Amino acid sequence: MTDMRVHDVLGVDVEMPVRIRSARCFVAGFTADTEAVRAAVRRRGDLDLAPLQVRRGRALCMLVFVDYRDGDLGPYNEFGVCFLMQPPGRQASALSAMRSLASADAHALIHDLPVDGEFTLAAGRGIWGFPKILADFEVDHDSAVKHGRVSQDGRLIADLTVSRGVPVPDSARDTVLQAYSQLDGVALRTPWRLTSTSGTRTRLGGARLTLGDHPIADELRRLDLSRRALMASSVADLSMTFDDATVLTPAP
């Protein structure tokens, strides 16, 4: 008999891998000061990974709104602040960085992750060490121009608008993103497998970002984000799985 990996989350058994059968998202990528990204990573823990530079002195910060419509953790909204990282043990060029990003085959640190569900909050922090916090969302995934606003206790974190891109081929093959997290001094790596996408659109630029007065907004300002987005994308529907995390650095 197969050894089923099960986690108890708020008294509910969650079996691995966690399956997301339907979600939709939009994302914008901004360049950020490499040393500021390094400092942000160090403030959270001792993860032995370096930011992947898309050009000299500039790393890549991705801001993404996701609507999880049908999955093992229930429906919820999510806003992610992610940094693209160098693959462990080797140096990657700016060109390979962009190719990895386009194919969803990349290494990314999940730096901040507001959500609007108690269950996914507990699962994310307890199983994968994702730095989830509870927040409030106003999101429009249905219009041609996507818009998301996330705040906590009345304090704006970010307001992001993504313009309509051009259609690109959808991927039906499995691609794996290695997602890294740091929580309470513990660093983990989680395989995030993208199994299908449909309705993908992308473009150069095409995003407008407004930051508020929340501490996460202050952190984003310290990154010296580019005024213009490098790229913006939206996906009408995607499915994916999250497997168990591997501990990279134990608790202090």
As a whole number of angstroms, the distance between CA 72 and CA 117 comes to: 13
Residues 107, 180 contacting (CB under 8 angstroms): yes
The mean pLDDT of 224-246, rounded to a whole number, is: 96
The mean pLDDT of 225-231, rounded to a whole number, is: 96
The mean pLDDT of 175-185, rounded to a whole number, is: 91
Per-residue pLDDT, 88: 76
Per-residue pLDDT, 182: 94
> 228-250 as b/e, with b when 16 or more CB fall inside 10 Å?
ebbbbbbbebbbbbbbebeebee
Q: Where is average pLDDT lowest: 88-102, 127-141, 199-213?
A: 88-102
Q: What is the pLDDT of residues 5-52, one digit of tens each?
A: 899 999 999 999 999 999 999 999 999 999 999 999 999 888 888 999
> 161-193 as b/e, with b when 16 or more CB fall inside 10 Å?
bbbebeeeeebeeebebbbbbbbeebbbbbebb
As a whole number of angstroms, the distance between CA 191 and CA 245 comes to: 7
- pTM exceeding the 0.75 threshold for the entire prediction: yes
Q: Is the pLDDT of residue 227 over 50?
A: yes
Nearest by Cα to 34 from 56, 63, 9: 56
Please report, rounded to a whole number, the percentage of residues in the chain having pLDDT higher than 90: 80
The more confident residue out of 4 and 117 is 117
DSSP-derived letter for residue 44 is: H
Q: What is the pLDDT of residues 89-133, one digit of tens each?
A: 666 565 665 555 555 557 899 999 999 999 999 999 999 999 999
